[in-house]
Amino acid sequence: MYAEHAAAMQANTMLIMSRTQSASQAATTGKQLNDLGLRALDAPVSGGVVGAEAGTLTIMVGGSQVDFDAAQTALTTVGSNLFHMGSECGMGSTMKTVNQLLCGVHIAAAAEATHVAENAGLDLAQVHSILSVSAANSWMLGNRGPRMLQDDPAVTSAVDIFVKDLSIVAQEAHRAKSGLPLAAAALQMFLAAPGQGHGLADDSQVIRAYRGLNRGAAT
């Protein structure tokens, strides 16, 4: 996509890459753009649609200090938490990979815990009320947990997105020869959910994969 439009851009034009991609892909694309006389920032975001609309996204930026400073007006239009991760394209995406690893594991862990409570016959609304004021609480539990109790919640981020993001985590781990057993386990559950037909459902619905695993059929 970038290469397709780069030829039409004026020299020294800055392109800000905010998609979730591997650090190696960000570095390669950044170099390709630089070789074409363009400037590039690797600037993935966290905060979702709500954060974008409110202008409160967290933005993790890799690229030169000069380019980071020059992009402040554009970046602060959508983000209130800006972090310069380093001078190379790929450093922002490395940080986003760390973020998505934790997000995916936290959602899967919340789904697993909710499913245990569900199978035990506990009142799930009460379970989440208790967890929200207990040491086990997390941002993802508080945000996704209530949606796990709904049959068909509105989609804010699809299961398939975490299949992609956790696959990037696995790819980067393979490249670095690093064992990431928790991320690998979370990825398997996110892969199982679309296998049961839930890929386009809200990512909280990874809980359906646990139901399918332990009841013998998807629900």
Are the C-beta atoms of 156 and 202 separated by less than 8 Å? yes
Per-residue pLDDT at 1: 57
Domain edge (last residue) among 89, 124, 145: 89
First to last CA, the chain: 38
- Distance from C-alpha of 75 to C-alpha of 199, rounded to nearest angstrom: 31
**Interior CA angle at 133 toward 127 and 135, to 5°?**
95
- Give residue-wise pLDDT tens across range 53-110: 999 999 999 999 999 999 999 999 999 999 999 999 999 999 999 999 999 999 999 9
Provide the CATH number for the domain around residue 33.
Answer: 3.40.50.720
Please choose, from the candidates 165, 158, 168, 146, the residue with its C-alpha nearest in 3D space to the C-alpha of residue 199: 158
Residue 178 has pLDDT above 70, yes or no: yes
What percentage of residues in the chain have a pLDDT greater than 90? Answer: 92
Domain edge (last residue) among 45, 69, 89: 89
- Give residue-wise pLDDT tens across range 105-156: 999 999 999 999 999 999 999 999 999 999 999 999 999 999 999 999 999 9
- pTM here is 0.92
Residue 31 appears among annotated catalytic residues: no
Per-residue pLDDT at 6: 75
Provide the CATH number for the domain around residue 161.
Answer: 1.10.1040.10
- Give residue-wise pLDDT tens across range 2-57: 666 777 889 999 999 999 999 999 999 999 999 999 999 999 999 988 999 999 99
Domain edge (last residue) among 89, 120, 153: 89
Our count of domains for the chain comes to 2
**Interior CA angle at 116 toward 113 and 117, to 5°?**
90
Residue of 31, 96, 164, 177 marked active site: 96
